[in-house]
Amino acid sequence: MLSEKLTSCGIADTTDIQTSWPSEERLKKGPVVIVECFQEIPCNPCETSCPRNAIVVGVNINDLPKVDHNKCNGCTVCVSRCPGLAIFVIDQNYSPTESTITMPYEFLPLPQKGDMVDALDRAGEKCCRAKAIKVVNTKAQGKTPLVTLAIPRGMEKSVRFFKMVS
């Protein structure tokens, strides 16, 4: 059941988000995919691209993807394949004070490794500063570069995008 906030303005709230997150125990084991796909639409690139079969849409291509977080190793293959930009990877083990989030980024200019950016929440509001630690833009990803940001520990459920700072 979608929250009223998601159906009225398109922004997921904590109830919606909780349905797609792995357990705290799994988060502590290393990188893991988060799929925030909340609408039933005909789509399954996440399922067909996952080399570990950790994401399943099933026979009905309109069904929401289900993730077996214990099969996922956070490889990020599915992140660049999602046309809705609804997939990202979290790694809480980056450092004692920071986690990472790897997300698709389809704008120019691309950040460079080391760039500081404003991390944004789902409503587009600045929630913290972040550092670009990896930018991957290869032919294997199609036309969707992946950016990995180091974010303050505890901001994993808030950060969903970023804005370049001039």
The pLDDT assigned to 28 comes to: 93
Q: How far is CA 49 from CA 26, 27, 83, 130, in A?
A: 22, 22, 12, 29
- Whether 1 has a pLDDT exceeding 90, the answer reads no
Domains of the chain, CATH where assigned: 23-164 (3.30.70)
pLDDT tens figures, 39-64: 889 999 999 999 999 999 999 999 99
CA distances from 39 to 6, 7, 36, 82 (A): 10, 10, 9, 13
State pLDDT tens for residues 67-93. Answer: 999 999 999 999 999 998 999 999 999
Q: The whole model's pTM is what?
A: 0.89
Query: What is residue 138's predicted lDDT score, i.e. its pLDDT?
Result: 86
Q: pLDDT for 118-153, tens place per residue? A: 999 988 999 999 999 999 998 877 789 999 999 999
